[in-house]
């Protein structure tokens, strides 16, 4: 940052920020007839959380006080996740508290939903799953079993004793290193399974596995299995295959659950209430930005105006990280506390500029030249900016680790700290920590680097060399 400023630096950076902000807020899309093609996602494409969109927050527990094992709770979680997928509710949160045998589920209203019955949805999601092993894999146009597959049920959930994901460690095996699911059958299913596998092994037929009316797997029968112990081999040895094996084992176990799930409690949020809250938060954000901009320009003049341009870029970039503007990053679910984090970041975003502008004003009034004052202002103001932002980053990371998903990046990275918190329903706090963290990190990019480049550039224009524009006194001599 010791290079001399050029006037074009200001114009190039300012134009790039304005263009980026325009696309980040409005997005880029094309309309062809009734089809809309989204090229770049904007603010209107942000995924909103339950507290904005409306939805249901429900806690499931085993009925009749049944003391479930961790494996059984994991299987029950798989049932709920499969049900949510079947209902086309993909924007959901499912947490399992193994210590208290609780499964916390949060899911939003469907898009455009006007008449939604939360009780029936809860009953549908928490109902006991029906697991079946069927001959073949014939399905109708809706993907449901038909023909031989519908008529020939080989096993039911009660016939499965356990399913376990494992990896083949036998170096002499043809499937060495591959993941598989080990099945152990109850006596009630051994005979029918032996008959089916003996018959189907001759033609290399298949036995499909169904969760309700959804086919979750269809392994090929390679040999007769008469002892009640089967192996479903997955072709692969990577992490993705391991996760598939674990998921399949959990789903199979869910069909053999010895308990039903009951809704301990639930709460609902009206979509209209969330929409009103969103409108209020957006207005608050716009007002906060305008007030901060007026304060910066009134108190720090030209450095303040440059800081406002940088702040616009910071706000737009924060929204870009939320909306899915960058195709390599998935969109993030934004909640009301998340919007509060953005508003808070707006106030904190000018912190670096306030410190630098005050330093510049002091240096000019002490007799330094404009170039020397700008250089000294940013150099001397950098240390306190770093200290202040690092402390906020620590807090944001703690919020994301403690109140986010247990398989999240920060939760895994700092597992010895966060394991005590257990599964959390406070996804809204996680959203707050995310937007706050992104905003503070972007403060280094826009509040320090971009502002410095723009200010050094514009200060080279002859019309911008008046000390008054930087907080000095009119016609004050500088050295």
Q: What average pLDDT score do residues 229-241 get?
A: 82
Does residue 92 or residue 214 have the better pLDDT?
214
C-alpha torsion angle, residues 414, 415, 416, 422 (rounded to 10)? 130
Q: Which CATH class is domain 7-44+270-470?
A: mainly alpha
Q: How crowded is residue 269: how many other Cβ atoms within 10 Å of its Cβ?
A: 20
Q: What is the 3-state secondary structure (H, E, C) of the chain?
A: CCCCCCHHHHHHHHHHHHHHHHHHHHCEEEEECCEEEEEECCHHHCEECHHHHCEEEEEEEEHHHCCCCHHHHHHHHHHHHHHHHHCCCCCCEEEEECCCCEEEEEEECCCCCCCCCHHHHHHHHHCCCCEEEEEECCECCCCCECHHHHHCEEEEHHHEEEEEEEECCCCCCCCCCCEEEEEEECHHHHHHHHHHHHHHHCCCCEEEEEECCEEEECCECCCCCCCCEEEEECCCCCHHHHHHHHHHHHHHHHCCCCCCEEEEEEEEECHHHHHHHHHHHHHHHHHHHHHHHHHHHHHHHHHHHHHHHHHHHHHHHHHHHHHCCCCCCCCCEECHHHHHHHHHHHHHHCHHHHHHHHHHHHHHHCCCCHHHHHHHHHHHHHHHHHHHHHHHHHHHHHHHHHHCCCCCHHHHHCHHHHHHHCCCCCHHHHHHHHHHHHHHHHHHHHHHHHHHHHHHHHCCCHHHCCHHHHCCCCCCCCC
According to the model, what pLDDT value does residue 195 have? Answer: 93
Low-confidence winner among 94-103, 166-175, 259-268, 469-478 (lowest mean pLDDT): 469-478
Residue 399 has pLDDT above 90, yes or no: no
Could you report the per-residue pLDDT of 94-138, keeping only the tens digit for each? 888 888 889 988 887 765 555 667 777 777 677 666 789 999 999
According to the model, what pLDDT value does residue 129 have? Answer: 67
Cα–Cα distance between 270 and 268 in angstroms, integer? Answer: 7
Residue 479 has pLDDT above 60, yes or no: no
Q: How crowded is residue 352: how many other Cβ atoms within 10 Å of its Cβ?
A: 27
Residue tagged 């916390």 (tokens): 104
According to the model, what pLDDT value does residue 1 have? Answer: 44
According to the model, what pLDDT value does residue 45 have? Answer: 82
Question: 425 falls in which pLDDT band (50, 70, 90)?
Answer: very low
Q: What average pLDDT score do residues 223-246 get?
A: 85
According to the model, what pLDDT value does residue 270 have? Answer: 74
C-alpha torsion angle, residues 365, 366, 371, 377 (rounded to 10)? -90
8 A C-beta contact, residue 301 and residue 370: no
Cα–Cα distance between 98 and 93 in angstroms, integer? Answer: 16
Domain(s) labelled CATH 3.30.1360 in the chain stretch across: 131-254
Among residues 310, 305, 315, the alpha carbon closest in space to that of 344 is found at: 315
Question: How large a percentage of the chain has pLDDT more than 70?
Answer: 86
Cα–Cα distance between 370 and 462 in angstroms, integer? Answer: 12
Strands 47-48 and 333-334: parallel
Across the chain, mean pLDDT equals 81
Residue 358 has pLDDT above 80, yes or no: yes
Question: 417 falls in which pLDDT band (50, 70, 90)?
Answer: low
Question: 3 falls in which pLDDT band (50, 70, 90)?
Answer: very low
Phi, psi of 209, deg, nearest 5: -110, 130
Question: 324 falls in which pLDDT band (50, 70, 90)?
Answer: confident
According to the model, what pLDDT value does residue 200 have? Answer: 92
Q: What average pLDDT score do residues 444-467 get?
A: 87
Residue 208 has pLDDT above 80, yes or no: yes
CATH of 131-254, one of 3.30.1360, 2.60.40, 2.120.10, 1.10.3470: 3.30.1360
Q: Which CATH class is domain 55-124+261-269?
A: alpha beta
Cα–Cα distance between 305 and 357 in angstroms, integer? Answer: 11
According to the model, what pLDDT value does residue 4 have? Answer: 59
Q: How crowded is residue 276: how many other Cβ atoms within 10 Å of its Cβ?
A: 12
8 A C-beta contact, residue 427 and residue 404: yes
């Amino acid at each position: 940052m010791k290079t001399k400023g050029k006037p074009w630096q200001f114009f190039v950076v300012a134009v790039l920020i304005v263009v980026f902000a325009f696309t980040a807020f409005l997005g880029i899309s094309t309309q062809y007839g009734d089809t809309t093609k989204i090229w770049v996602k904007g603010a209107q494409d942000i995924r909103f959380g339950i507290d904005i969109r409306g939805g249901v927050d429900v806690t499931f527990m085993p009925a009749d006080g049944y003391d479930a094992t961790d494996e059984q709770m994991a299987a029950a979680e798989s049932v709920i996740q499969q049900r949510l997928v079947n209902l086309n509710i993909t924007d959901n949160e499912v947490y399992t508290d193994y210590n208290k045998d609780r499964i916390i589920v949060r899911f939003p209203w469907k898009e455009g939903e006007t008449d939604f019955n939360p009780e029936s949805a809860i009953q549908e999601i928490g109902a006991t799953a029906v697991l079946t092993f069927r001959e073949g894999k014939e399905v109708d146009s809706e993907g449901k079993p038909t023909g031989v597959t519908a008529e020939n049920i080989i096993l039911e959930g009660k016939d499965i004793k356990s399913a376990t994901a494992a990896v083949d460690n036998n170096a002499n095996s043809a499937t060495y290193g591959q993941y598989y699911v080990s099945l152990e059958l109850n006596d009630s299913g051994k005979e029918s399974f032996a008959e089916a596998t003996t018959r189907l092994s001759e033609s290399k037929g298949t036995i499909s596995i169904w969760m309700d009316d959804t086919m979750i797997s269809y392994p090929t029968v390679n040999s007769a299995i008469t002892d009640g112990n089967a192996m479903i081999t997955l072709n692969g040895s990577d992490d993705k295959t391991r996760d598939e094996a674990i998921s399949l084992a959990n789903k199979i176990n869910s069909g053999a659950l010895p308990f039903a799930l009951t809704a301990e409690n639930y709460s609902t949020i009206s979509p209209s209430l969330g929409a009103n809250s969103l409108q209020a938060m957006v207005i608050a954000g716009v007002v906060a930005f305008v007030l901060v901009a007026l304060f910066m320009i009134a108190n720090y003049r030209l450095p303040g105006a440059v800081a406002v341009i940088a702040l616009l870029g910071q706000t737009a970039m924060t929204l870009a990280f939320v909306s899915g503007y960058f195709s390599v990053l998935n969109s993030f679910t934004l909640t009301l506390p998340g919007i509060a984090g953005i508003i808070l970041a707006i106030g904190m975003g000018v912190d670096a500029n306030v410190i630098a502008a005050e330093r510049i004003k002091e240096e000019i009034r002490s007799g330094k030249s404009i170039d020397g004052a700008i250089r000294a202002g940013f150099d001397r103001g950098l240390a306190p900016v770093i200290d202040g932002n690092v402390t906020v980053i620590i807090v944001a990371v703690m919020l994301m680790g403690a109140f986010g998903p247990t398989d999240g990046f920060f939760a895994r990275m700092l597992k010895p700290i966060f394991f005590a918190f257990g599964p959390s329903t406070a996804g809204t706090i996680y959203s707050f920590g995310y937007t706050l963290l992104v905003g503070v990190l972007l403060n280094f990019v826009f509040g320090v680097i971009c502002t410095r480049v723009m200010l050094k550039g514009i200060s080279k224009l002859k019309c911008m060399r008046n000390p008054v524009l930087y907080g000095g006194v009119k016609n004050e001599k500088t050295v």
